[in-house]
Structure 1
Amino acid sequence: MESSRRKRPSEEAESYFVSMTDMMVGLLFIFIIMLVYFAIDYQEMTAELSESQLEYQETVAALSSAQSTRTALLQALEQTLRERGVQVTIDTQTGVLRLPEEVLFAKGAWELAPTNLQKIETVAATMAEILPCYTYGASCAPQNRARHRVDAIFIEGHTDSDPMRGQMDNYDLSMRRAVNTFRALRVSAPLLETLRNGPDAEAQSILGVSGYGPDRPIDIGDTEDAKSRNRRIDLRFLMQTPGGNPENPSSLLEDLP
């Protein structure tokens, strides 16, 4: 008699079924683990996305608020200067207070005439009155302190496209005009030298100069009126922005003293 007997077909089928069941249970277990892993990963990604969206919304709100502050500053300067007889224009989108050539310089000249020097003295006095509440370095009543601060004011010289005679070109002219305006502002109102873009020792002066020659026209026409508009001094106001120095908003949502 044989030492072992062959398995019956029913036993073989049962053994095969048990093996398949074990395999399916194992696959189901692996599937559940993967599902849990991806669910946790999805939750983490969703949380990170929500946090990023919140930070983005806060940044956009801070930028919008800073721009509103700059607009209010420009409007205050424009209104006060007009009341004092100095005709200026503002561009709230680019943050510019514009001084036309006739306010300061004769055509082709870079020295301030005595009558125009009086106008720049008015501009300087007005800036010295209003800017302390938008900067550091000078006293301001707490109730008047602006929420956002000025980071820099660039005094920009601009010319028309007509070439200069002699060795000096329009870039030289624009820079000389900007520098002379800068010097006249600081001499007329020494307080402007003390204004800074931060409360600490590393903070910098808010005033700077640049000359662009004919490269940044505001009127591309070739008429005398267009050229006259392009000959100008722009005071460009830059506000502190997210990630900027010295404060970043959450820096724009800055800590005020």
Structure 2
Amino acid sequence: MRRKRGRTIDVEEGESYYVSMTDMMVGVIFIFIIMLSYFAFEFRSTTAKLTTARHPESAALLQTAANLTPKTADIEIDYKAQVLCVPEAALSEAGEGAAGQRRCFAFSPPTKASAQTVSVMDAQRLLMQALDADLRDAKAPVTGDPSGGSLSFRADQLFVAGTATLSPDGQRIAGNVAQSLVRRLPCLGYGVAAGANCADGGAKLAVVNVTSQTNLDAFSAEGQRAAALALQRAAAFHQALTAAQPDLARLRNAPPGQPGSQPLLRVASVGQSQEGASKVGDDQAVSIQFLMAG
């Protein structure tokens, strides 16, 4: 006698439908992920173009102007009043407009940056990009945006709590930072032989400050201890950098022996007084600030 297997067939068909539906949903989700990634990339790209453009307003308009057409027209410009006028007919694709009528617009004349200023800006930008890349490769916990001209670290990631003693992780970070600095700074300073890839007569640094920032109550004993601890931490981090790479201590902001020549790597401390400031050592930060000469 043959046994009926209809129930088994129904179960197998149900499982087959379930697997097919799951595969379809995974495919749909994957498509959405690709679309979101594409739009995120385009958004970042467009934002970068607009924020770094020399004339952001023009850059924004050019994003929407997809069919610019060259056209010959007689324009009139009052450079003193910064007003530009064009024939009204030039603003119509068909040349419509009353004869003799004009449309006028205000404008700002272009400014010409000196070659030295551009060189200084480019040098600092390239320096910060290189340092940021070095430290990210080394997994050093840089906080904030280095493009502003400084590398910042949370003090609690560098020091034993409440002290100016570097923790083992802080010593590792200081070593990574020192290694990056000694690779990048000789081109921008004096006193240490620069590499063959350094440009002659390029921009130079005026000072590289190892700075510790803290919030404090300047009128309390605890606030004064916080200020003292901040300075001690800046000095300790400076010493860790120069101990890891002694060439950093030999770098100068001007040729050795020249009047006004000072060590390039120096120490500073900044304390901002405020009510209800945190306890000694809390919320402090250590940063390295790069100031270009000229």
Same-fold call, TM > 0.5?
yes
Secondary structure in 1 matching 2:197: helix
Secondary structure in 2 matching 1:209: strand
- Residue in 2 aligned with 1:117? 171
- Residue in 2 aligned with 1:160? 215
Distance 1:214 1:65, change over 3 A: same
Give the counterpart of 2:270 among 182, 196, 212: 212
Equivalent residue letter for 2:190 = Y
Equivalent residue letter for 1:182 = H
Pick the structure with more strand per residue: 2
Map 1:210-249 onto structure 2 (within 5 A). 210-214=268-272, 228=283, 231-241=284-294
Q: Cα RMSD between the aligned structures?
A: 3.1
Secondary structure in 1 matching 2:257: coil
Contact 1:132/1:139 (<8 A) preserved? yes
Q: TM-score, structure 1 length as denominator?
A: 0.60
Give the counterpart of 1:92 among 128, 136, 147: 147
Q: Which has the larger radius of gyration?
A: 1
The unaligned stretches of length 5 or more in structure 1 are 1-55, 242-257
Equivalent residue letter for 2:184 = I
- Residue in 2 aligned with 1:177? 233
Distance in 2 (CA, whole Å) between partners of 1:213 and 1:112 is 21
Alignment coverage as a number of residue pairs: 177
Deviation at 1:222, TM superposition (A): 8.6
Deviation at 1:106, TM superposition (A): 3.8
1:126 and 2:184 matched: no
1:67 and 2:121 matched: yes
Deviation at 1:166, TM superposition (A): 5.6
- Residue in 1 aligned with 2:193? 139
Equivalent residue letter for 2:203 = H
Distance in 1 (CA, whole Å) between partners of 2:172 and 2:146 is 24
Distance in 2 (CA, whole Å) between partners of 1:233 and 1:175 is 10
Counting aligned pairs with the same residue, the percent is 26
Distance 1:162 1:109, change over 3 A: farther
The unaligned stretches of length 5 or more in structure 2 are 1-110
Contact 1:132/1:138 (<8 A) preserved? yes
Deviation at 1:137, TM superposition (A): 1.6
Deviation at 1:162, TM superposition (A): 7.1
Contact 1:150/1:237 (<8 A) preserved? yes
Distance 1:123 1:208, change over 3 A: same
Distance 1:167 1:177, change over 3 A: same
Secondary structure in 2 matching 1:92: helix
Deviation at 1:232, TM superposition (A): 0.8
Contact 1:96/1:236 (<8 A) preserved? yes
Secondary structure in 1 matching 2:215: coil
1:209-233 deviations in whole A, cap 9, x for unaligned?
Answer: 1111235x9xxx9999xx74xx211
Contact 1:170/1:214 (<8 A) preserved? no
Deviation at 1:62, TM superposition (A): 2.1
1:28-86 deviations in whole A, cap 9, x for unaligned?
Answer: xxxxxxxxxxxxxxxxxxxxxxxxxxxx956x442232122111101111110110121
Contact 2:129/2:146 (<8 A) preserved? no
Secondary structure in 2 matching 1:136: coil
- Residue in 1 aligned with 2:243? 187
- Residue in 1 aligned with 2:31? none
Distance in 2 (CA, whole Å) between partners of 1:159 and 1:223 is 9
- Structure number with the bigger relative contact order (C-alpha 8 A, sep ≥ 6) is 1
Distance 1:223 1:158, change over 3 A: closer
1:149 and 2:204 matched: yes
Contact 1:86/1:103 (<8 A) preserved? no
Deviation at 1:145, TM superposition (A): 3.2
Distance in 1 (CA, whole Å) between partners of 2:140 and 2:151 is 12
Equivalent residue letter for 1:160 = N
Distance in 1 (CA, whole Å) between partners of 2:161 and 2:214 is 10
Deviation at 1:185, TM superposition (A): 0.9
1:159-207 deviations in whole A, cap 9, x for unaligned?
Answer: 2347887695221111011111111111111010111112341222101
Deviation at 1:107, TM superposition (A): 3.9
Contact 1:172/1:213 (<8 A) preserved? no
